[in-house]
Homo-oligomer: A and B are copies of this chain.
Amino acid sequence: MKQELKQTKFGKYGGQFVPEVLMPAIEELTEQYEKYKDDPVFNEELDYYLRDFAGRPSPLYFAKHLSKEYGVKIYLKREDLVHGGAHKLNNTLGQALLTKYMGKKRIIAETGAGQHGTACAMAGAAFGISTEVYMGARDTVRQRMNVYRMELMGTKVIQVKSGSQTLKDAINEAMRDWAANVETTHYMIGSVVGPHPYPMMVRDFQSVIGKEVRTQIMEKEGRFPDSIVACTGGGSNAMGIFYPFIEDDVDLFAVEAGGSGMKVTEKEALHSATLCTGEEGILHGMHTMVLQNKYGQILESSSIAAGLDYAGVGPELAYLADTGRIKPRNSMDSEALDAFHDLCRLEGIIPALESSHALAYVKKAASSGELGEIVVINISGRGDKDLETVMGMKK
């Protein structure tokens, strides 16, 4: 048993804290993923979809004007150009293909703002697999367009009317569905979170980002960057770009959402800076850092970027932060907004508010020298989805 535990964890983090009804599905998934992850046929097919459907490789763009403005040489990894507008599809394509290889007929997922749901819908349609996405009823109203998008692609969006009618309730409902339909259904998690094997599997699927950066930066600079900066909600875009560099002499900065400040009440945090301020706990099937009160009740997190608004974080990130391999940082809502405007104006690229947190950190840290001379920033997605939000804020 010792050995098995080791497999499912990153140091003490990770594991499989799930109801027994789900354990067989988790075991099956672990087994199947182990089976296919290095399978050449599987990987060839995945590469094909990443290239021809998703549009990979995404460029590594030297941001001339921004470099000048921030005072450090900045390369942008352009996940905003991936089909669907974010890195999310890298993972859902991988999991949908695995679903096909496992012979399952149905995909379920939950979504908050709708980004992961949309990526599921795209992958589901590409592979012709029936897809259902749980979404809090309140979120379906707020994110009407994403609901419509998913439905256009043949995905059934199931409104969850229990509880707060938001992401949390959608997760619960999706888990219930999975529990009831494990034999036929694959549950698609959208970040490096949840029970093993998800954190590892999603990381592997997202690692295509960092692998491309390795080649691209060598072509452009003849050497690796001094640092890589990525925003961190669950942590999938961060792990995706970090992981291929984990053994290299490259500093890795995981930038969390500092929200409107570091204040915390009994029930809420004004931020989502889990690695920076959280404590060890168990949430959504994993042992990781979480935002919680003194009793262990999970706090409602907060961020201007819906994709970062999560009270947990991937267990591997918690582990790497403990060992000092990655450096957790954060940017406030207002700083992210500022950097968002910078990139739009200076480079003609509208970044997601999530990604703007990474930009904002570079803006404030560049002068300290902490980032070195060459920085790669992961532009995890495009900001078209965020225009209403930004419009609603004073600059």
Chain A contacts to B: CB under 8 angstroms? 51-53, 55, 58-62, 65, 78, 80-83, 121-126, 128, 145, 148-149, 152-154, 341, 344-350, 384, 387, 390-391
Some 28 contacts from A to B, beta carbons below 8 A apart, are A51-B59, A52-B59, A52-B60, A53-B348, A55-B55, A55-B78, A78-B83, A81-B82, A81-B83, A83-B349, A122-B348, A125-B344, A125-B345, A125-B348, A125-B349, A126-B347, A126-B348, A145-B387, A148-B387, A149-B350, A149-B384, A152-B350, A152-B390, A153-B344, A153-B348, A154-B344, A154-B346, A384-B384
Q: Could you say how many copies of this chain the assembly holds?
A: 2
CA distance A154 to B350 in the complex (A): 12
Q: Are A341 and B152 in contact (CB under 8 A)?
A: yes
Enumerate chain B residues within 8 angstroms of A60, measured Cβ to Cβ.
52
Beyond A55-B78, A59-B52, whether A153 also contacts B83 by CB under 8 A is no
A344: nearest chain-B partner, CB-CB: B152
Q: Which 7 A-B pairs have the closest CB atoms?
A: A125-B348, A122-B348, A152-B344, A55-B81, A154-B345, A52-B59, A52-B61
Enumerate chain B residues within 8 angstroms of A344, measured Cβ to Cβ.
125, 152-154
Q: Are B384 and A348 in contact (CB under 8 A)?
A: no
Q: Are B121 and A348 in contact (CB under 8 A)?
A: yes
CA distance A350 to B125 in the complex (A): 11
Q: Are B65 and A59 in contact (CB under 8 A)?
A: no
CA distance A124 to B347 in the complex (A): 9
Enumerate chain B residues within 8 angstroms of A80, measured Cβ to Cβ.
83
